[in-house]
Structure 1
């Protein structure tokens, strides 16, 4: 299901039209393997090449840096697709804490959909939890030549206390769930024991070591990331065979004040061999 939502014209550096191609943004709805509808925005350039952009936990396709990255890819003439995982944003389904493998299967459904209509997936990009998801995808499906992990967490046993509290294991074993509230006391989401165990049992070291050596991986991390320490980026660098690491000085977890620099790093990596999306590893 495809709906046209907006269109724009590419401009030259001085703001004048220079035989501009028409860029379209189209809302696309497609099913995952559980019959849930996934909703995304296709930045259409007319190119057969396509980059897929994945968001992080409790985020959506419409937040930074997903929108900025998709627009940056569009501006170099490659189409981009940013979408909401099941249970997030506009997509159907229930939000689940953990859920890394299932989200990798959502990504699989997206990739298979676009391949089925003749697109060549050149790169998959994930931010935060999405970074883990694209790496997990690459560890299982050896059919994407470039993977970009932005602000992903290497050790998934860490970072849980900040959301659930220090005694989270005792509480969830006792009650079977933990409710998470925001700073103003508003309920945000429920963490079940099953979903917590899903996160704790997801082995990123094993996944990284299972990525095919012909798959090129870029990890980008901010030096001032307060949610996921920059040391996690160093662990990815140690455990992925064909890996490039870029630390952006001064950047936070979302690269709030460093969107242009992040886009430059990502585009440089994509440009290296943008036609590799047709390759089979």
Structure 2
């Protein structure tokens, strides 16, 4: 029996060592995966740069690229009489980049820093502008995962989705549903009479 015990001890010891190594490997792998997850879910520094995209009408559209280092990109579209600098656009960009996703917000033609003349309505031209932006980033290092529009921009992204099918996710934030409402607040109660009399109406901050 002593000989049997002595012959079994080395094997038992070997089994214990193997078990310890396996447990240590599992623990190390779990720790490594947790650190990797924390690193990927915590975005680093966001670099913001100005980019100019030319539309189909030869007008330069100015935008800001919030670069997180991610290949995923969300494009933001502003509403009527607004721009990429609008508070809503800034807040959306901040919220998305905090998730580690890059963002591009731009001015439609005739708005903000972009070239062109401001026009009321003009939905199809805005869709063309958005198309130019999408094509600009297509084929590059970024993959456009979402196009998001606020207010009038929400209507624009829906029109874009009905015409093109190259963006997997379309987000409409507070899109306009009654286009007759809100005009007086933006252009004045007598804007129709002014247009008929003068042929134009002044829109503050627009060309």
Task: State the TM-score, normalized to the length of structure 2.
Answer: 0.71
Q: Partners in 1 of 2:130 and 2:42 — Cα distance?
A: 35
- For structure 1, the residue ranges without an aligned partner over 5 or more in a row are 1-17, 181-186, 191-281
Calculate the aligned-residue CA RMSD, in Å.
Answer: 2.4
Q: Which residue pairs with 1:57 in the alignment? A: 80
Alignment CA distance shift 1:189-1:118 (3 Å): closer
How do 1:227-238 and structure 2 match up within 5 A? none
Deviation string 1:21-74 (CA, Å, 9 cap, x unpaired) is 342111111111111111111111121111001111221111211111112111
- Say whether the 8 Å CA contact 2:43–2:98 is kept in structure 1: no
How do 1:1-281 and structure 2 match up within 5 A? 21-165=44-188, 168-169=191-192, 171-180=194-203, 187-189=204-206
Q: CA deviation at 1:164?
A: 4.0
- Say whether the 8 Å CA contact 2:50–2:63 is kept in structure 1: yes
Q: Partners in 2 of 1:139 and 1:64 — Cα distance?
A: 28
- For structure 2, the residue ranges without an aligned partner over 5 or more in a row are 1-40
More helix by share: 2
Alignment CA distance shift 1:155-1:77 (3 Å): same
**Rg: which structure is higher?**
2
Q: Which residue pairs with 2:20 in the alignment? A: none
- Say whether the 8 Å CA contact 2:73–2:143 is kept in structure 1: yes
More strand by share: 1
Q: Partners in 1 of 2:96 and 2:121 — Cα distance?
A: 29
Alignment CA distance shift 1:77-1:149 (3 Å): same
Q: CA deviation at 1:112?
A: 0.6
Q: CA deviation at 1:173?
A: 4.3
Q: Partners in 1 of 2:83 and 2:185 — Cα distance?
A: 21
Alignment CA distance shift 1:126-1:19 (3 Å): closer
Deviation string 1:181-208 (CA, Å, 9 cap, x unpaired) is xxxxxx5558xxxxxxxxxxxxxxxxxx
SS at match of 2:104: strand
Q: CA deviation at 1:19?
A: 8.7
